[in-house]
Chains A and B, each alone.
Chain A
Amino acid sequence: DVKVTQSSRYLVKRTGEKVFLECVQDMDHENMFWYRQDPGLGLRLIYFSYDVKMKEKGDIPEGYSVSREKKERFSLILESASTNQTSMYLCASSLSYMTGNNYGYTFGSGTRLTVV
């Protein structure tokens, strides 16, 4: 069964800490995405990557950065965590749009981050 795996289900961090959220996929997908999910706001795109070492800002990139050194791994970094970054973070992957197909995303189970 194909999977997107997020390394932590729950995290509690202190304000000002540097936080790493890890995501690994085993489907050889080109695209990977990081979203945050907040009640009433749905899913908002933070960053995405369409290839190794390539990244593009999404709708809400402020306060975040990403790293994609290998095709299967996409990391989200909170440089200095703040309480307004308390949220559910979802990683997803998909085939490259350039293949002419769009079968949607495969999602990980999410990481619920609390910043205190």
Chain B
Amino acid sequence: AQSVTQLDSQVPVFEEAPVELRCNYSSSVSVYLFWYVQYPNQGLQLLLKYLSGSTLVKGINGFEAEFNKSQTSFHLRKPSVHISDTAEYFCAVSELTTDSWGKLQFGAGTQVVVTP
């Protein structure tokens, strides 16, 4: 069965500094990978996804992530953060099996706090 580990529960970062959020997964089959963002008092919004092809994926709001199959990782990065990037970020994995029904397994989340 799949599992998702987000290695940092909270990441403090200064405005205009870079940020990296780490995500590792375990699965015995091929997977799709996702990053979601949750702003305060809102639902989750898709940032980016990896389905196939190039391992470097670009998403909304200047975020990108790189799929590393050998490391089973899907780390999220942004070169320069804004105050508005303060949010919780979730990594999610979907196994490519017929009985998965496309279900997503989520990590525990990483809270990003951007300060001036």
Give the B-binding residues of A (Cβ under 8 A): 4, 31, 33, 35, 40-45, 48, 50, 56, 58, 90, 92, 94-98, 102-110
Contacts and interface: CB of A to CB of B under 8 A. Distances in A.
A50 B101 contact: yes
A24 to B, nearest CB: 14
A108 B43 contact: yes
21 contacts: A4-B43, A31-B101, A42-B90, A42-B109, A43-B90, A43-B106, A50-B101, A90-B44, A92-B44, A95-B102, A96-B102, A97-B98, A97-B101, A103-B49, A104-B36, A104-B94, A104-B104, A106-B46, A107-B36, A109-B42, A110-B43
A44 B51 CA distance: 23
Interface of B: 6, 9, 32, 34, 36, 41-46, 49, 51, 90, 92, 94, 98, 100-104, 106-109
Nearest to A38: B108
- Among B6, B36, B46, B101, chain A packs the most CB atoms within 10 A around the CB of B101
